[in-house]
Amino acid sequence: MRISILGLGYVGCVSAACLAHEGHAVVGVDVNPTKVDLIGAGRSPIVEPGLDELIAEGVATGRLRATLDTKAAVHETELSLICVGTPSNANGSLNLKYVEGVCREIGEALASKDAYHVVVIRSTVLPGTVLNQMLPILEAASGKKVGEHFGLSMNPEFLRESSAIADYYSPSHIVIGEYDERSGDMVEALYKGIDAPLERVSIPTAEMVKYVDNAFHALKVVFANEIGSVCKAHEIDGRRVMEIFCQDTRLNLSPAYLRPGYAFGGSCLPKDLRALTYRTKERDIDAPMLNSLLLSNQYHIQRGIHMVEQAASKEVGILGLSFKANTDDVRESPMVVLIETLVGRGFHVRVYDEHVHPDRLIGANREFLLRELPHIVSLMSDTIDHLLADVDTVVIANGSAAFRDVPGKLRQGQTLIDLVGIVKHHDDTYQGSYDGICW
Ligand SMILES: NC(=O)c1ccc[n+]([C@@H]2O[C@H](COP(=O)([O-])OP(=O)(O)OC[C@H]3O[C@@H](n4cnc5c(N)ncnc54)[C@H](O)[C@@H]3O)[C@@H](O)[C@H]2O)c1
């Protein structure tokens, strides 16, 4: 393929050299003449292991060159990768002036180009940027229509500086956000021969994925450092603790607990977090990340309450009382807060949980329920069907298998609020309306 690469920084240089190595004809464009001259001389403008050799090879074979002329580069290629910087403004917001500038230049070049061209944004930009801000610039500057005269895609870059070439050839995954299938096909062709899971998604999803990655990486670093600091205050080697932590690939380093859903609760997480954060205070350790967890969880419970209030009926049914499916443990269940708040605000609440019912419970749990939550016991329905018959808003609050066919039982006018993702793909086949807490 003939490819132009706009912006010859870390991302642009690595992409240019690797694509040329793969046999594509690549022209790199930058506003900085020194970078253009260095590439012309077969040298890398950035320090990156192995890059000098790849650039020298690309230039020697004639598959890689660089220019200051965006218009010519767009005219002689089929696809442009935008790799310019997206720094922070002083207030933390995203500075889009380079991406906007380059989109305008590409648009102006497209105005006088007859052939179809695909514009691919590789720079990291927030969800909505490509479709709401860059697409209008491209269309206005070119006088042409996306999907007809040119294609559009968002293809986030996941490379890490210092291992960028290795990352290019074995990425964790390739994510292609596509305006339409034709654009996505062209971008997919760039990665022929690279063995990695490939996801073709909407443009905003691709934009978001990159921020999620970076936020999570930052979270991991901060988590390890806060835990290490707590360990040090106890004369424990935090490296050894985290080594053991990382051995657990079932619950710790795994997809477990990484599915958006309802708040955490139960007899361990809230209690143990409280004890740990109290201890950090006692030892004068600043651990803002650990300290923020319970607060963030409370905000999430508030989101659930807000959704029920927005549903605009006072008749509410809650399916699930224990903090997760298949247990009768209601200690610190976030559903209890939800129910108590709604009752306090004048809602008529019914509750069903197959495992939590005074007639079926025995021992400590029965005692706890009758002693601590007698007001909730009186709200309990005997069957799901009884509950559904009485309410307008149905809240699925834990992932019990018994609730799976509830969406199909809804009648016209009922609202389903899904706090756990029991409905995988909402397809409007249900009678009632549907809303998920974080999807
Ligand atoms: N550096 C990384 O490891 C990395 C990894 C993944 C994603 N990203 C993202 O990729 C994007 C690029 O990052 P980078 O580190 O390569 O940036 P960089 O600052 O190193 O390079 C950007 C280049 O774009 C050039 N440029 C600016 N305006 C231009 C224009 N109108 N025409 C042509 N060139 C122009 C600049 O001169 C500069 O050489 C950013 O959005 C960044 O967040 C970076």
For residue 273, tell me if it sits in a domain: no
d(CA 180, CA 151): 7
Percent of the chain with pLDDT over 70: 99
The yes-or-no verdict on residue 425 having pLDDT over 90 is no
Strand arrangement, sheet containing 174-178: 64-67, 25-29, 2-6, 79-82, 117-121, 150-154, 174-178, 198-201
Please report the atom of ligand 1 found closest to the CA of residue 164: 3
d(CA 304, CA 6): 45
Q: 345 alpha carbon to ligand 1 midpoint, in Å?
A: 52
For residue 46, tell me if it sits in a domain: yes
Residues 196 and 305 occupy one common structural domain: no
Residues 175 and 317 occupy one common structural domain: no
Residue with CA nearest ligand 1 atom 1: 10
Which pLDDT score, from 0 to 100, does residue 22 have?
95
Q: Give the residues across from 316 on adjacent strands.
A: 349, 393
Which pLDDT score, from 0 to 100, does residue 238 have?
98
What mean pLDDT is reported for the chain? 95
For residue 281, tell me if it sits in a domain: no
Q: 57 alpha carbon to ligand 1 midpoint, in Å?
A: 23
Query: What is the DSSP annotation of 205-264?
Result: HHHHHHHHHHHHHHHHHHHHHHHHHHHHHTT--HHHHHHHHHH-TTTTSSSTT-S--S--
pLDDT in tens, 339-374: 999 999 999 999 999 988 777 777 777 787 888 888
Q: 15 alpha carbon to ligand 1 midpoint, in Å?
A: 11
14-28, 118-132, 158-172, 361-375: least confident range:
361-375
Using CA atoms of 112, 118, 121, 127 in order, give the dihedral in degrees to the nearest 10: 110
Mean pLDDT, residues 148-163 taken together: 97
- Only one residue has tokens 């006018």, namely 413
Residues lining ligand 1, Cβ inside 6 A: 6-12, 29-32, 35, 83-86, 98, 101-102, 105, 123-124, 157, 159, 161
Instruction: Give the residue numbers spanning the domain of 95.
Output: 2-201
Q: Tokens for 328? A: 């009768």
Which pLDDT score, from 0 to 100, does residue 430 have?
76
Domain endpoint, select from 160, 180, 201: 201
Contact 216, 190 (CB under 8 A): no
Q: 235 alpha carbon to ligand 1 midpoint, in Å?
A: 44
Determine the residue type at 386. H
For residue 8, tell me if it sits in a domain: yes
For residue 248, tell me if it sits in a domain: no
Residues 123 and 11 occupy one common structural domain: yes
Residues 58 and 170 occupy one common structural domain: yes
Please report the atom of ligand 1 found closest to the CA of residue 161: 3
Residues 165 and 24 occupy one common structural domain: yes
Residue with CA nearest ligand 1 atom 7: 157
Number of structural domains (the chain) is 2
Residues 155 and 15 occupy one common structural domain: yes
pLDDT in tens, 193-234: 999 999 999 999 999 999 999 999 999 999 999 999 999 999
Mean pLDDT, residues 363-391 taken together: 88
Residue with CA nearest ligand 1 atom 5: 159
- Only one residue has tokens 């003449």, namely 33
For residue 67, tell me if it sits in a domain: yes
d(CA 175, CA 206): 6
Given pLDDT bands bounded at 50, 70 and 90, which one contains residue 279?
very high
SS (H, E, C) 13-64: HHHHHHHHHCCCEEEEECCCHHHHHHHHCCCCCCCCCCHHHHHHHHHHHCCE
Given pLDDT bands bounded at 50, 70 and 90, which one contains residue 327?
confident
Q: Where does residue 301 rank: exposed (0-12), middle (13-18), buried (19+ CB within 10 A)? A: buried
Query: What is the DSSP annotation of 334-368?
Result: HHHHHHHHHHHTT-EEEEE-TT--TTT--HHHHHH
The yes-or-no verdict on residue 263 having pLDDT over 90 is yes
Q: 7 alpha carbon to ligand 1 midpoint, in Å?
A: 6
The yes-or-no verdict on residue 426 having pLDDT over 70 is no
Determine the residue type at 170. S
Residues 312 and 196 occupy one common structural domain: no
Residues 44 and 190 occupy one common structural domain: yes
The total number of residues written for the chain in this structure = 439
Which pLDDT score, from 0 to 100, does residue 428 have?
67
Please report the atom of ligand 1 found closest to the CA of residue 122: 10
Residues 196 and 325 occupy one common structural domain: no
115-124, 349-358, 414-423: least confident range:
349-358
Mean pLDDT, residues 113-119 taken together: 98
For residue 293, tell me if it sits in a domain: no
For residue 184, tell me if it sits in a domain: yes
Q: Tokens for 2? A: 């003939």
Residues 196 and 311 occupy one common structural domain: no
Please report the atom of ligand 1 found closest to the CA of residue 105: 31
Residues 179 and 307 occupy one common structural domain: no
Q: Where does residue 184 rank: exposed (0-12), middle (13-18), buried (19+ CB within 10 A)? A: buried
Domain endpoint, select from 142, 167, 201: 201
* CATH code for position 47: 3.40.50.720
Domain endpoint, select from 201, 222, 246: 201
Residue with CA nearest ligand 1 atom 11: 123
> In degrees rounded to 5, what are phi and psi of residue 405?
-90, 10
d(CA 377, CA 212): 41
pTM: 0.94
Contact 439, 260 (CB under 8 A): yes
Between CA 422 and CA 429, with CA 425 as vertex, the angle to 5 degrees is 100
Residues 306 and 182 occupy one common structural domain: no
Reduced to 3 states, what is the DSSP secondary structure of residue 326?
coil
Residues annotated as part of the active site: 268
